[in-house]
């Protein structure tokens, strides 16, 4: 799994690790990420770090829904310096979504991951990540989740 440093045009190995409540508080205090991540402490929160860089550049909060055989992405954000045209690293969100898909396979949910999109972004998630639209959620499962894993997680 890698993120792309757009400034030097180099691939950098990326790692995703689970973080605990103390680390969530610590990261939240830095204000390097939008949204209040302290609200996510009851869920599974992960950080993405790039090789040679100590500070995380991506955060992901997932709700495990075993009763529905699904993982729901509650919140995802890249660090502020990586939003928009001047971003230093690309592929961060893709890696985090692919990670969620892989976790959904590991849990035996057939790679089923869903998220509630902002209406105006819906078609872009569909185009970019191959998500399928239902009335309320965007979903990925099975082959599309495997495709995301191959593209973002397994590609070195």
Partner 1 sequence: MKTNRKEIKETDFSKFTSEELTDAFVFPADQVLNAKEKKEEEDFWASRRKQFENRTYHQKMYSRLLQLKFQLEDYIDSSQYLETFSFGFFLNEYVSRQEKKDKDFAVEVDVKPAVLSQYINNHRKPTDEFIIRLELHSNGLIPAIHWFKVIQKNKEHEIMTNQKLREEESKHVKNRLGFVY
Per-residue mark of binding to partner 1, 123-142 (x: CB under 8 A) = -xx--x-----xxxx----x
Q: Tokens representing 53?
A: 């860089």
Does 102 sit near partner 1 (CB under 8 A)?
yes
User: Within positions 60 to 99, which residues make up the interface with partner 1, using CB under 8 A?
Assistant: 65, 67-70, 73-78, 80, 82-85, 87, 90, 92-93
55: contact with partner 1 by CB under 8 A: no
Q: SS in 3 state form for 79-128?
A: CHHHCCCCCCEECHHHHHHHHHHHHHHHCCCCCCEEECCCHHHHHHHHHH
Of 95, 94, 80, 103, the residue nearest 14 (C-alpha)? 95
The count of chain residues that interact with partner 1, using the rule CB under 8 A, is 49
Q: Which is nearer to partner 1, 56 or 117 (CB)?
A: 117
Q: What count of other Cβ atoms lies within 10 Å of the Cβ of residue 22?
A: 9
Among 107, 130, 147, 151, binds partner 1 (CB under 8 A): 107
Tell me the two tokens of residue 17: 């690790």
146 vs 36: CA distance, rounded Å:
31
Judged by the rule CB under 8 A, the positions of this chain that interact with partner 1 are 31, 34-36, 39, 65, 67-70, 73-78, 80, 82-85, 87, 90, 92-93, 102, 105-112, 115-118, 120-121, 124-125, 128, 134-137, 142, 146
């Amino acid at each position: 799994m890698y993120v792309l440093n757009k400034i030097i045009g180099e691939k950098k190995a990326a790692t995703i690790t689970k973080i605990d409540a103390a680390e969530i508080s610590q990261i939240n205090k830095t204000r390097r990420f939008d949204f209040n991540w302290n609200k996510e402490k009851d869920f599974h929160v992960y950080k993405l770090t790039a090789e040679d860089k100590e500070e995380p550049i991506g955060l992901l909060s997932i709700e495990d829904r075993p009763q529905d055989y699904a993982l729901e992405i509650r919140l995802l954000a890249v660090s502020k310096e990586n939003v928009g045209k001047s971003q230093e690293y690309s592929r961060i969100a893709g890696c985090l979504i692919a990670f969620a898909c892989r976790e959904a396979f590991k849990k035996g949910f057939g790679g089923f991951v869903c998220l509630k999109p902002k209406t105006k972004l819906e078609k872009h998630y569909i185009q970019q990540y191959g998500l399928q639209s239902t009335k309320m959620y965007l979903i990925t499962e099975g082959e599309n989740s495997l495709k995301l894993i191959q593209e973002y997680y397994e590609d070195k």
